[in-house]
Amino acid sequence: MRDHTLKYLLVLPAVVVVFATAIWPLIEAARMSFTVGRLNRPGSLEQYIGWENYTWAFFEEPAFWNSVYVTGMYTIVTVALTTLLALGLALLLAPGGRLRSGAQTLLILPFAMSPALIGVSFRFMFNPEFGLFDAFFGIIFPPLADVSWLADPDLAFAVVVMADVWGWIPFLTLVLIGGLASVPRDTIEAAQVDGASGWRVFKDITLPQLGPVLAVVIILKSIFSLKTFDQVFMLTNGGPGTATQTLSHYIYFNGMKYGQIGYSASVAWLMVIPMIFLTYAYAKFVFRKN
């Protein structure tokens, strides 16, 4: 067979799978978002109502805006915290040696843990009666000794953030260590010989060199933060009330629990829009590399 035909035949199965499992659902979800779409009402997925689901979300549903707010705050806080802490840890671990490479190996473990299990373990750790972190925070900051973490809206949000940051620091750290390895050593040494302080070296040499990697890390983490579902579901199930209800959780609840699948499809599509921008930014980095 000629290469000319073969090269398209080789990609065909993959293209079919990607189309069937990702592109088709996107298109179908868009169609569903313009219908009444009730799970318990046959035929309602063919009853078109124009933009009504979208206007409903925008103008009649405070819960939608609440989940937008929660997701936005969650994304900002987790991206900032995870990136800063991971950068610090990467700088600590980058020099190598036995202790440091041992630590790098251990970093893989939280990352291989299922996010649902991370949610469970943090609920365990923050149990008011026998949670280890609960006891720890109670000792270092006594006003927190008797709080019930997951029953308080702000503290529950803090716990969800901590679980997320804990789960993602390892991955970001490993990526940044990789980035640090490509910062030329002789430039740093030359600056040190010239008497530049550690902070100056970091600010003027390391950080600019690390720029593209940091950008990739921030984009990726933003994407994953926006989508967060598993930990939230297992930790707080969106509660107390709707204090930790992210967009994914809101969509799940409306679609699966209330059966308003048309409406939840419209919110789901609203969620795709920021993803498109982030994916575009990410793709630019990937293809600049090649």
Partner 1 sequence: MTGKQKKQFFNAIHVVLILIAIFVMLVPIIWIFLAAFKTHVDVYQLKLFFTPTFENFGTVFDDPYRLGEKLLNSTIVAFVTVLFAIPIATLAAYSFSRFDMRGETTMLVIILATQFVPAVVIILPFFVMFRDIGLLDTRVGLILVNLAIVMPFAIWMIKGFIDGIPLDTEEAAMVDGSSRLQVIRNIVLPMAAPGLLTSAIFCFIIAWNEFLFALILTNKDAVTLPIGLALFKGEEGDLWNLLSAAGIIIMAPMFVLALMIRKYFVQGMTMGAVR
User: Using CB under 8 A, which residues numbered 122 to 141 contact partner 1?
Assistant: 122-125, 127, 129-130, 132, 135
**Shortest distance, CB of residue 169 to partner 1, whole angstroms?**
8
**Shortest distance, CB of residue 170 to partner 1, whole angstroms?**
7
Question: Pick from 43, 112, 139, 185: which binds partner 1 (CB under 8 A)?
Answer: 112
What region does 77 belong to: left with phi over 0, alpha with psi -120 to 50, or beta?
Answer: alpha
From the list 73-81, 120-128, 146-154, 186-194, the region that binds partner 1 by CB under 8 A is 120-128
**Shortest distance, CB of residue 151 to partner 1, whole angstroms?**
13
Question: Pick from 67, 87, 115, 164: which binds partner 1 (CB under 8 A)?
Answer: 115
Question: Pick from 171, 201, 206, 243: which binds partner 1 (CB under 8 A)?
Answer: 171
Is residue 193 at the binding interface for partner 1, with CB under 8 A as the rule? no
**Binding pattern for the stretch 69-98 against partner 1, x by CB under 8 A and - elsewhere:** --------------------x--xx-----
Size of interface with partner 1, in residues (CB under 8 A)? 96
**Shortest distance, CB of residue 272 to partner 1, whole angstroms?**
6
Question: Pick from 103, 144, 183, 191: which binds partner 1 (CB under 8 A)?
Answer: 103
Nearest-10 crossing angle of helices 153-181, 115-125: 130
Is residue 251 at the binding interface for partner 1, with CB under 8 A as the rule? yes
Q: Cα–Cα distance between 36 and 21 in angstroms, integer?
A: 24
What region does 50 belong to: left with phi over 0, alpha with psi -120 to 50, or beta?
Answer: left
Tokens of 173: 């750290």
Q: Cα–Cα distance between 283 and 268 in angstroms, integer?
A: 22
User: Is 146 exposed, middle or buried, given 0-12, 13-18 or 19+ CB atoms closer than 10 A?
Assistant: exposed
Is residue 217 at the binding interface for partner 1, with CB under 8 A as the rule? yes
Task: Give kind and range of the element (H or E) at residue 163.
Answer: helix 153-181
Is residue 113 at the binding interface for partner 1, with CB under 8 A as the rule? yes
Q: Cα–Cα distance between 3 and 25 in angstroms, integer?
A: 32
Q: ∠ at Cα 67 (284, 278), nearest 5°?
A: 0
